[in-house]
Structure 1
Amino acid sequence: MSSQLEIQPRELKFVVELNKQSKCTVRLVNKTDQHLAFKVKTTSPKKYCVRPNVGVIQPKSVHEFVVIMQAIKTASVELACKDKFLVQSTIVPDGTLEEDITSEMFSKDGVKFVEDIKMRVNLVFKAPHSPESTTNEILKQADANVESQVINDDSKPVKDADVTPTQDVKSEKTKLMKIEPIDAVVSSVQKDVETEVTKDVEPMTRINEESKVIESRMSTDDEEQRLFRDVEEMKSKLHELESKLSKAEMTISNLTEDRRQVIQERESLKQEMDFLRTRKVERRVQDGFPLLFVCMVALFSLIAGYGFHP
């Protein structure tokens, strides 16, 4: 059977920064004329959060879900990530809602078709913007400004009145080379470094606070999702128990009805047996009465014969 679902992209790519979450958006394209239900699974559920992880895609339409990777606190992470995702899809009837999707819909029982699509994870690490690199850039820029200033002083057109001795020019150059970097440039560089460091430190602290808040929210969301899954599983189990109880009640009612019918048949048979027994006795009485009557008549005729004999 051809693929009923198209995934874009087929590989999850996360740009990783320390102490910062990263996310990736995935598009699901329903290529069929029927409604498709999907479910997203991962080998590392504590590391990723999928929103939403289940849903229904309309025919010939597109549905999106977002995968959020938790913030990484240390740089000791392998570049070749072994985490994997699995997207399952199956055909559902029209009118199916997201709340109606259960794990039993994606069980492969041999009757319905369940498509499995695997996705890999690719991590791209981004170099952090450290205050040291900012300081080095500022020092390099300051050195370049000093050199350009000295070169500009050398290249200025000088009047004849100003060019008296060459030693004065050399002394002025050495003053510029010695005094400018030490006094003005160093102080400006220190001020720039301090401002840059404070600018970089404040966003980092703010980012850390925001990441902690987001982590707490994500943990609560994960707990809510787990609770929702547990409640759904309990509902499905209760539904199964109710169906089994209804079947048991039906079988008990059928057995009681059969027993009642057997008792009735037994009573009717007993009544028929009694009736047959009474009919048999009556028949015996009817069969024996004419013989007795004949005997009595014969006896009376003999007595009468002897009485009338001379």
Structure 2
Amino acid sequence: MSMQKLLDIDPQQAAFRLEVGRQVSCRIKISNNSQEHVAFQVMTTNVHKYCFRPNAGVLKPGECLEITATMQALTEIPSNMACNDKFVIRSVVATPLHTAETAHELFSEGTLAFEECRLKVVCFKCISFSYNPGTMNAHMAGGSTTRPPLLTGTNYSYWKTKMKMFIMSMDEDAWRTVLTGWKRPVATDEKVSLEP
């Protein structure tokens, strides 16, 4: 019998769109799946490069929270976009008496067994170029934040990754809409029925 995880974490990787001279952020949604209060703590393998808001806390049963991970401003974009940084989200069952201020205590005691989820950090840079309709290679590669990558029918895996990054670069909420589906806004008025 498999045990249910205490927290659902979405997305499973932290994606940052790099810009010179600006701090950049991404959001990580955590949800408490259990019937218990759950304390969480967010850590990283590179403490000088990232900060988290909040970095610890306690979630009530069924409660969700968005964590903002912020990368410090870069003086230059690295030519090699490979990143070995990781985020670690620890979780453990807590009591209703625990608060965000006391959550750290649960992880420093060392006697409790806690769950750990590791998230890989992915970096991509904003690239803008002039599009030449006669040359499709740049467009097919998806190297632009103003034009989506082209699906040729033979490059689906590559296109899927580039399209996800393209949508996330526009807005993280846009990517959540892709995952969960669009919901039509409903307007109601007691006197008039509004129909599309």
Shorter-normalised TM range: 0.5 to 0.7
Deviations 1:199-244 (A, max 9, x none): xxxxxxxxxxxxxxxxxxxxxxxxxxxxxxxxxxxxxxxxxxxxxx
Q: In the aligned structure 2, how far is the partner of 1:104 from the partner of 1:5?
A: 16
The alpha-carbon deviation at position 44 of structure 1 amounts to 0.7
- 2:115 aligns with 115
Structure 1 residues 41 and 77, CA gap change in structure 2 (3 angstroms): farther
The alpha-carbon deviation at position 104 of structure 1 amounts to 4.5
- 1:44 aligns with 46
Contact kept? 1:38, 1:54, Cα under 8 Å:
yes
Higher strand share: 2
The alpha-carbon deviation at position 29 of structure 1 amounts to 0.6
Runs of 4+ residues deviating >4 angstroms: none
Structure 2, unaligned stretches of length 5 or more?
A: 131-196
Q: In the aligned structure 1, how far is the partner of 2:108 from the partner of 2:117?
A: 13
The alpha-carbon deviation at position 128 of structure 1 amounts to 6.3
Contact kept? 2:42, 2:56, Cα under 8 Å:
yes
The alpha-carbon deviation at position 72 of structure 1 amounts to 1.2
Q: In the aligned structure 2, how far is the partner of 1:98 from the partner of 1:43?
A: 22
- 2:99 aligns with 97
CA RMSD in angstroms comes to: 1.9
Q: Does 1:13 align with 2:15?
A: yes
What does 1:116-265 align with in structure 2 at a 5 Å threshold?
Answer: 116-127=116-127
The alpha-carbon deviation at position 20 of structure 1 amounts to 1.6
Partner AA of 1:5 in structure 2: L
Q: Does 1:23 align with 2:25?
A: yes
User: Bigger radius of gyration, 1 or 2?
Assistant: 1
Structure 1 residues 97 and 104, CA gap change in structure 2 (3 angstroms): closer
- 2:63 aligns with 61
Structure 1 residues 50 and 77, CA gap change in structure 2 (3 angstroms): farther
Q: Does 1:79 align with 2:81?
A: yes
Contact kept? 1:90, 1:106, Cα under 8 Å:
no
Contact kept? 2:88, 2:116, Cα under 8 Å:
yes
TM-score by length of 1: 0.39
Aligned residues: 128
- 2:5 aligns with 3
Secondary structure at the residue paired with 1:105? helix
The alpha-carbon deviation at position 77 of structure 1 amounts to 4.5
Partner AA of 1:57 in structure 2: L
Q: In the aligned structure 1, how far is the partner of 2:61 from the partner of 2:71?
A: 30
Deviations 1:23-51 (A, max 9, x none): 00111010001100000010111111111
Partner AA of 2:82 in structure 1: A
TM-score by length of 2: 0.60
The alpha-carbon deviation at position 11 of structure 1 amounts to 0.3
Contact kept? 1:23, 1:68, Cα under 8 Å:
yes
Q: Which has the higher contact order (CA 8 A, sep 6+)?
A: 2
Contact kept? 1:51, 1:65, Cα under 8 Å:
yes
The alpha-carbon deviation at position 126 of structure 1 amounts to 0.7
Secondary structure at the residue paired with 2:101? helix
The alpha-carbon deviation at position 55 of structure 1 amounts to 0.6
Q: In the aligned structure 2, how far is the partner of 1:31 from the partner of 1:106?
A: 23
Seq. identity, %: 30
Contact kept? 2:18, 2:77, Cα under 8 Å:
no
Partner AA of 2:22 in structure 1: K
Deviations 1:105-146 (A, max 9, x none): 35542xx430000000000101369xxx8xxxxxxxxxxxxx
Structure 1, unaligned stretches of length 5 or more?
A: 134-310
The alpha-carbon deviation at position 10 of structure 1 amounts to 0.8
Q: In the aligned structure 2, how far is the partner of 1:95 from the partner of 1:104?
A: 12
Structure 1 residues 78 and 38, CA gap change in structure 2 (3 angstroms): same
Q: In the aligned structure 1, how far is the partner of 2:79 from the partner of 2:32?
A: 36
Q: In the aligned structure 2, how far is the partner of 1:114 from the partner of 1:65?
A: 19
